[in-house]
Chain A
Amino acid sequence: MSTKNSADRKSALDEPAGRTELEEQEAALKQVLADFRCSVHAWSDSAMSRPRPVSSAAPHRIWRRALGWALGCVLVAGGVSGSIYERHHQQELARIAAVRQAQQQRLAAEQRAREEEDLLAKVDSDVSREVPSAMEPLARLMAEGETR
């Protein structure tokens, strides 16, 4: 668009009537820009010298900031204590599970020991018979030889 405008302006510059019109437009634009500059300067000068209501704005901002900080602190503290509680809870659960497991192992060991004891007792009773039945005739022969 700007290239088209500049091309139009260029072709207009070639003709004297167009040149005058263009010069007028440029002069008008210059005047508008000068007005714009003056208005910004005047506005800025007036704004710089205006009275500033410090007391009304500052405490409001301070309170808002303090509230923000307090809320932030509460959130952080809540997060930290929550994570500590969670960790503690996990540790407690792990401890209970370990105790239970140890108890179960102990009971199993006792059961095994009892079974072994029973087995040994049975073996003892079997072994401690006075004379096995299969050897009885031989024992009798030995007794008769001794009497002869």
Chain B
Amino acid sequence: MATAEEIAAQDFSTIVQTHRPQIFRFLLASTRDLDLAETLTQECFLKAHRNWSGFRGDSSAMTWLMRIAINLQKDHWRNRRMQFWRLTQTNSVDLDEASEWLSSGERSAEQKMLAKEQVGRVWQAVKGLSERQRTVFLLRYVEEQELSEIARATGLSEGTVKAHLSRALAKVRAEMGRKQ
């Protein structure tokens, strides 16, 4: 007969399997750094595992994990700013490389080129967003989360989330409207 700890561990492994891709995707889009995204994903689940017994289920496991991931990412940028004296190597992928990943679908070569260019512009706009705007934008348009869910994950009010999203979208629009 399985003990309570074994059951909890089993539950947690299911949580990892289910939510790891989403957490990794969010961190990858936020940092554009494969290694860093993997490290932060590991840290996120390690932290979640340590606090798993304290998870009361007030929000969904996904929201809880996303909150941990957002905080880890925030801490990472803060620490990096502090380590100005250290020779930091950034492994961030180039924006052109990031916009390479586009499904071909049923498009002509010209349409594919145009789509790639436009995705590149979105990346450019995302790069210029503030940390909060970027987080909110990615959660809404990449993870397709509801505003209430984003508010819970970020710890902001729904009104603030809306405001950040509107500003982020305005910047994306401005970037799209800019001529090359």
Contacts and interface: CB of A to CB of B under 8 A. Distances in A.
Interface of A: 1-2, 5, 28-29, 32-33, 35-48, 50
Contact of A42 (B103, B115, B118, B144): B103
A36 B99 CA distance: 8
A46 B101 contact: yes
Contact of B28 (A5, A35, A37, A40): A40
A40 B173 contact: no
Interface string B150-180: 0000000000000000110010111010000
B28 A45 contact: no
Nearest to B103: A38
B141 A33 contact: yes
B122 interface: yes
Q: Is the interface of B mostly helix, strand, loop or mixed?
A: helix
Q: Is the interface of A mostly helix, strand, loop or mixed?
A: helix
B98 interface: yes
A44 B173 contact: no
B167 A40 contact: no
B9 to A, nearest CB: 23
B28 A47 contact: yes
Contacts of B170: 1-2, 5
Interface of B: 21, 24-25, 28-29, 34, 37, 98-103, 115, 118-119, 121-123, 141-142, 144, 166-167, 170, 172-174, 176
A63 to B, nearest CB: 17
Contacts of B174: 1, 5
Q: A43, A46, A47: which has the most chain B beta carbons within 10 Å?
A: A43
Contact of B21 (A1, A5, A36, A48): A48
A36 B101 contact: no
Given A38-B103, A40-B29, A32 B119 contact: yes
B103 A29 contact: no
B21 A45 contact: yes
Contacts of A47: 24, 28, 34, 37
B102 A39 contact: yes
A5 B103 contact: no
Contacts of A48: 21, 24
